[in-house]
Amino acid sequence: MTATATLVTPRGGKAPRRAPVGTNRGSSVIVGFVALLLIGMMLAPVVYIILGGFRSNAEITVDPSGFPTRWNWENYADVLTSGVFWGQVGNSAIAAVATTVFVVALGLMAAYALSRYRFRGRGAVYALFTAGLMFPMTVAITPLYILVRNLGLMNSLAGVIVPQIAFALPLTIIILSPFLAAIPNELQEASSIDGLGRLGFFWRMVLPLAVPAVVTVGILAFVNSWNSYMLPLFILNNEATYTLPLGTQAFASQYSVDTARVLAFTSLSMIPALLFFSVFERRIVGGLTGAVKG
Amino acid sequence: MNTRKILAGAALAVAGTLALGGCAGGGGGQNADGSVTLTLWHNSTTGDGKKYWEDTAAAFEAANPGVTIEIQAVQNEEMDGKLQTALNSGDAPDLFMARGGGKLADIVTAGQAMDLTDKISADAKTALGTSLNAFEVDGKNYGMPVAVLPSGIFTAQDLLTAAGVTEAPATISDLEAADAKIRATGVAPIAVGAKDAWPAAHWYYNFALRACSKDVLDAAATSRSFDDPCWLQAGENLESFLKTQPFNDGFLTTAAQQGAGSSAGLLANHQAAMELMGAWNPGVIASLTPDEKPLADLGWFPFPEVPGGKGEEGAIMGGVDGYSCWVNAPAQCTDFLNFLVNKENQENYAAAFQTIPASSEATDAVTTPALQSALKAYTDAPYVSVWLDTLYGQNVGNALNVAVVDLFAGKGSPQGIVDAVNAAASR
Amino acid sequence: MTTVRHPVATASDDVAGRRLAEEGAPRTPSAGRSPVRRRRENWRIRGELAILLGPALVVFVSFVILPVVLAAYYGFYKWSGFGTPVDFVGLRNYVTILTDPAFHEALGHNAFIVIGSLVLQGPLALGLSLLLNRKMRAQSLIRVLIFVPYVISEVVVGLGWGLMLQSGGALNGLLEKIGLGALRADWISDPALAIWTLLIIITWKYIGFAVILFLAGLQGIPEELSEAAAIDGASYWQIQRHIVLPLMGPTIRIWAFLSIIGSLQLFDLVWIIWGQYVASTAGTSTMATYMVANGRNAGSYGYGSAVAVVMFLISLAVALIYQRFVLRRDTAGALTGGTK
């Protein structure tokens, strides 16, 4: 932190003690108010969906923005006891876990190679992965679907998992590369003195150090896979293989008469993602902070 | 190190799940033990229609041991896309819903539909009569019709009476006058589900039916372009009708058949007085009424005449719903089709879907007064045209539907419809 | 930093090792060995590279690069998706796309969303992150709650908002209840309003991501800097303007890049709320919805592929321009808050 050393030169005598910037009482109130408003706006639609599941259709038609007068648990109970819902949760879970594990593994290895080896064409390979950000699923979906079909992977979760891995790699590598590059060379030299080759260094020292960034990348991959809609829309035709977003949309179309029930299904399909996020929240922010700090 | 162990464990878990995930869910076919599985895709996701298919499949399975039928109900608006995907992927359902026309012709050209010409039983041929023509491509037959669906204006008769409309409007000007009276009572005159595009497009099809001669309609099926001036005239007639603002509020985002807010739902809940729709509507409306029973005051009259056109008076736009076999389906597929159109099953179909069966043997089962009027108009009609978007294939049909919605939204023009269709051919 | 040096390390090691530029990978300690050993070493390196880089490259090229190349190939054909393409039409698809007013509109909508997202989310997220970057109770809770919309799938967001914004839906109902009934509007199908509605929903969904990103960036700025400036007499706003903002530069630029790319690819939300037909009449169609509506859903797979290629080229051009003029200053990569 040599940058700061030059600024904070010790002064002779006592510097006037100032309160930390911006924490006077007035601004605290403003901050509190803004925070409250913000949370309200963020959560209002979510609350609407959750509460809607407890109301009856007649209520919703007559008073769209009101609270439930009677808490109907049937809608939620119906969804929770239906095999369809849990089947879709299972499909989504399988797809998300598989995607995340492979994205992290492949991405780490590739980022390590790109950031700590020097070889001809390294810049080109890195640029290739970066260019991959320009190929969103939406652009590649038509030929991708034909490719998956030719491989015989239609209607299977593998047909969804493998493309998701491929499309998650660019962002992963872009986030991991500077992180890995910033690991001091002295560490690598020291470990080579101890007889560890580059691969050993990777396995024993880099992996543990990379955990914050890996967590970030893993969570992004998991959330993206869990929420992905377009790829399953094209690949999964058989209802038994539906993932949760697909199933939610199908349910909404099928039971659109029954608005309350649709809202119940929708809010239940939010829960897994929310749970997952709240468990890992500290890690996410920590991981991002760590990645930023380098 | 802990992380390494976690990683290794996860990798093992993933390998396992990938193996599980590799289980595909494909089409049916001949199983190893000689039993046969047929997959069936239909578009009734709720209510009596869904039950009809379950019951009929069970009856067929009982009569044909060793045959199982796997049913999948696909939402109507998604049927075309999903079917296309399935046919493309080489993993298509054995039995799928088809509507004939250019859409079926495209599937036939790609060699994906089974030739049924010699497989239709003689009884079926007599009973079905001319409705079989809808499924003919180049002289060969590729589908079995189950319902004939003439298009007309369904009404909630009580609302019309309350507004002082006593006679069915015979011409477009009569209709516009009736609309004004109905609007004065606070009810939306006509419901239209423009969100799904085709309900709005049906208005254009009917105007085109009145403006263009039969020859022009048929010729466009091969040329797939709108060169005759009658197409433009149809658009202009539609435009002037739109200027009288006959539709419900927010019609652009009203769906056709899904939910109480849909156009069928509006009719079912007496929030709109009329809807231009095909003869499947009574069934849809029945599922959307508050008590989920058929609408008691449902009426019907044919699309009004539009003076100055070359179309013959009384001609009707109508579709034919039917089922086709995939080219690689087992032979039992055609057995099922023949089974579908026997008298008993057709009568059940008419009752479950509240619509007009294709088989002339079963038309006595039609009890809804609205449908009886529709049936009469259908049999009296000098000629019947299939829906234009079906007739002209998916590419042109899509472009046509979108262009009509643009006109409804005030964004397009009659010329725009013609241009859109001609441009679609280049895609 | 340790100053113990390995006997065979070259003097340039330290400097070279600190920059992740195109050429600056840490030199391996093999420099200076005999030619034979170096050759063997090279093969070992290649082997390691193959193991490390291989799987990712194979998967990526097969499922990302290959489809895009195929898309370019199919784009030269008129093809209904069955069998193999046989109807070669050359550049006709591309000409049709570039002259189609519907595509121009979609492109315009995309551009509106790109700029609108940047303008709306950037300052808002910055302000929010500055406000929230202080120790207070519930800081953790607030961060979780802000991020919630991002975690929810676009399908759920679309369904929920779609129901809320209907003519007879919750928003209009609420407005009536609190006496602002005059503000009732057709939020979804009114062409004058629809695209703003879309922008608001997008902002709602993605502002959390921006705030979290900016918070992380802010936490990388040492407090001593602000304190020192405060001691020197700078006001709160001066500090933000002259110290915090410039140091946040790399983070902001990376966020902007991700936001632009995301906006160009928008599909799920529009498709779910508006559907393929209403999207064009309500004025919210995007290039992606145009592609699916005119490609797959119209049975024109060749045309759809051509649209995909055009979308890619546009994204690539934007990305290249952005990299050249904006990200040039930063090191190649994301989320670097400063150099070491």
Contact residues, chain A, for C52 at CB < 8 Å: 109-110, 112-113, 117, 199, 202
Query: Mean pLDDT across chain B, nearest whole number?
Result: 84
Give the nearest partner residue to B401 out of C81, C277, C302, using CB atoms.
Answer: C277
Q: Do C81 and B250 touch (CB under 8 A)?
A: no
* Cβ within 8 Å of residue A10, ≥6 positions away: none
Domains plus CATH for chain A? 29-72 (no CATH), 83-293 (1.10.3720.10)
Q: Do B395 and C191 touch (CB under 8 A)?
A: no
Q: Which domain holds residue C299?
A: 92-329
The dotted CATH code for B151-317+386-424 is 3.40.190.10
Give the nearest partner residue to B17 out of A97, A207, A240, using CB atoms.
Answer: A97
DSSP assignments along C72-137, one per residue: HHHTTEE--SSSS--EE-TTHHHHHHHH-HHHHHHHHHHHHHHHHHHHHHHHHHHHHHHHH-S--T
CA distance A51 to A222: 27
Give the nearest partner residue to C298 out of B111, B394, B426, using CB atoms.
Answer: B394
pLDDT at C27: 47
Structure tokens at B120: 């239709």
pLDDT-based confidence at B54, cuts 50/70/90? very high
Q: Could you tell me which chain A residue has the CA closest to the CA of B18?
A: A158
Tell whether C295 is covered by a domain.
Answer: yes
Best C38, C43, C146, C159 residue to mutate vs chain A (most A CBs within 10 Å): C159
Q: How many CB atoms lie within 10 A of CB A130?
A: 19
CB pairs under 8 A between A and B: 96
Q: Could you tell me which chain A residue has the CA closest to the CA of C251?
A: A292
Give the nearest partner residue to C96 out of B81, B395, B427, using CB atoms.
Answer: B427
User: Does B205 score more than 80 pLDDT?
Assistant: yes
Tell whether C165 is covered by a domain.
Answer: yes
Residues 181-240 of C with CB under 8 A from A: 204, 208, 212-213, 215-217, 219-220, 222, 224-228, 230-231, 236, 239
Distance from CA of C49 to the nearest CA of A (A): 6
pLDDT at B28: 54
Q: Do A238 and B23 touch (CB under 8 A)?
A: no
pLDDT at A288: 58
Q: Could you tell me which chain A residue has the CA closest to the CA of C49?
A: A113
Q: Could you tell me which chain B residue has the CA closest to the CA of C100?
A: B423
Q: Could you tell me which chain A residue has the CA closest to the CA of B288?
A: A257
Number of domains in chain C: 2
- pLDDT one-digit tens code per residue, B345-362: 999 998 888 888 988 888
Tell whether C310 is covered by a domain.
Answer: yes
pLDDT at A287: 58
Share of chain B above pLDDT 70, in %: 91
User: Does B19 score more than 70 pLDDT?
Assistant: no
Best B85, B249, B252, B413 residue to mutate vs chain C (most C CBs within 10 Å): B252
Do residue C168 and residue C297 come from a single domain? yes
Beta bridge partners of C277: none
Tell whether C229 is covered by a domain.
Answer: yes
Distance from CA of A226 to the nearest CA of C (A): 8
Tell whether C227 is covered by a domain.
Answer: yes
pLDDT-based confidence at B5, cuts 50/70/90? very low
Q: Which of C46, C62, C78 is the last residue of a domain?
A: C62
Distance from CA of A126 to the nearest CA of B (A): 25
User: Does B53 score more than 90 pLDDT?
Assistant: yes
Residues 16-75 of C with CB under 8 A from A: 17, 20, 22-23, 25-29, 45-46, 48-49, 51-53, 55-57, 59-60, 62-68, 70-71, 74
CA distance A285 to A294: 14
pLDDT at C50: 87
Best B89, B288, B427 residue to mutate vs chain A (most A CBs within 10 Å): B89
User: Does B162 score more than 60 pLDDT?
Assistant: yes
Q: Could you tell me which chain A residue has the CA closest to the CA of C132?
A: A31
Do residue C191 and residue C256 come from a single domain? yes
Distance from CA of B31 to the nearest CA of A (A): 19
Contact residues, chain A, for B287 at CB < 8 Å: 257
The predicted model gives B207-230 an average pLDDT of 89
CA distance B371 to B33: 46
Q: Are C100 and C283 in contact (CB under 8 A)?
A: no
CA distance A262 to A256: 7
Do residue C109 and residue C43 come from a single domain? no
Q: Are B421 and B397 in contact (CB under 8 A)?
A: no
Q: Could you tell me which chain B residue has the CA closest to the CA of A209?
A: B3
Closest CA to B238 of B187, B180, B192, B287: B192
Q: Which of C13, C45, C62 is the last residue of a domain?
A: C62
Interface of B with C (CB under 8 A): 80-81, 84-85, 87-88, 106, 109-112, 194-197, 249-250, 252-253, 261, 393-395, 398-399, 401-402, 405-406, 408-409, 411, 423-424, 426-427
Q: Do C278 and B87 touch (CB under 8 A)?
A: no
Contact residues, chain C, for A61 at CB < 8 Å: 168
Distance from CA of A20 to the nearest CA of B (A): 39
Q: Do B22 and A156 touch (CB under 8 A)?
A: yes
Q: Do B21 and A253 touch (CB under 8 A)?
A: no
Task: Give the start-to-end residue ranges of the domains of chain B.
Answer: 30-149+319-372, 151-317+386-424
Q: Which of C62, C83, C114 is the last residue of a domain?
A: C62
Closest CA to C181 of C190, C189, C171, C191: C171
- C249 inside 8 A of chain A by CB: no
Q: Do C156 and A113 touch (CB under 8 A)?
A: no
Give the nearest partner residue to A211 out of B3, B11, B24, using CB atoms.
Answer: B3
- pLDDT one-digit tens code per residue, C167-195: 767 788 788 788 877 777 778 877 788 89
- Lowest average pLDDT, out of A283-292, B42-51, B339-348, goes to A283-292
pLDDT at C31: 52
Distance from CA of B313 to the nearest CA of A (A): 38
Tell whether C33 is covered by a domain.
Answer: yes
Beta bridge partners of C284: none
The most confident of A70-74, A215-219, B181-185, B194-198, by mean pLDDT: B181-185
Distance from CA of C113 to the nearest CA of A (A): 17
Do residue C124 and residue C251 come from a single domain? yes
The predicted model gives B8-33 an average pLDDT of 46
From first to last of its 294 residues, what are the pLDDT tens digits of chain A? 333 333 333 333 333 443 444 445 566 777 778 778 878 888 888 888 888 888 877 777 667 777 777 788 888 888 888 888 889 999 999 999 999 999 999 999 999 888 888 888 888 888 888 888 777 787 788 788 878 888 888 888 999 999 999 999 998 888 888 778 878 888 888 888 888 777 788 888 888 888 878 887 888 888 889 888 888 888 887 778 899 888 888 887 777 667 788 888 888 888 887 787 777 766 666 655 555 443
Do residue C55 and residue C147 come from a single domain? no
Do residue C242 and residue C138 come from a single domain? yes
Chains contacting chain B through 3 or more C-beta pairs under 8 A:
A, C
Do residue C57 and residue C96 come from a single domain? no
Give the nearest partner residue to C332 out of A126, A170, A245, using CB atoms.
Answer: A126
Give pairs for A103-106: CB < 8 Å, separation 24+: A103/A164, A103/A165, A103/A168, A103/A169, A103/A172, A103/A217, A103/A218, A103/A221, A104/A172, A104/A214, A104/A217, A104/A218, A104/A221, A104/B7, A105/B7, A105/B11, A106/A165, A106/A169, A106/C55, A106/C56, A106/C59
Q: Are B66 and B36 in contact (CB under 8 A)?
A: yes
From first to last of its 340 residues, what are the pLDDT tens digits of chain C? 333 333 333 333 333 333 343 344 444 444 555 777 778 878 888 888 888 899 999 999 999 999 888 888 989 988 877 767 888 888 989 998 999 888 999 999 999 999 999 999 999 898 888 877 776 666 777 777 887 888 888 888 888 888 788 776 778 878 878 887 777 777 887 778 889 999 999 999 999 888 888 887 787 777 788 888 888 888 887 888 888 888 888 888 888 988 998 899 888 888 888 877 777 777 888 999 998 888 877 778 889 889 999 998 998 898 888 878 876 655 444 433 333 3
Do residue C41 and residue C129 come from a single domain? no
User: Is residue B68 helix, strand or coil?
Assistant: strand
SS3 content of chain A, % helix, strand, coil (to 5): 75, 0, 25
Do domains B30-149+319-372 and B151-317+386-424 share one topology? The answer is yes
pLDDT at C330: 56
pLDDT at B45: 76
- C100 inside 8 A of chain B by CB: yes
Q: Do C261 and A245 touch (CB under 8 A)?
A: no
Q: Do C160 and A192 touch (CB under 8 A)?
A: no
CATH architecture of B30-149+319-372: 3-Layer(aba) Sandwich (3.40)
Q: Are A120 and A202 in contact (CB under 8 A)?
A: no
Q: Do A21 and C163 touch (CB under 8 A)?
A: no
Burial class of residue B408 in the structure, from the number of CB atoms within 10 Å of its CB (0-12 exposed, 13-18 middle, 19+ buried) = buried
Q: Do A8 and C155 touch (CB under 8 A)?
A: no
Q: Could you tell me which chain C residue has the CA closest to the CA of B195?
A: C278
**Residue C292 belongs to domain with CATH number:** 1.10.3720.10
ipTM: 0.78
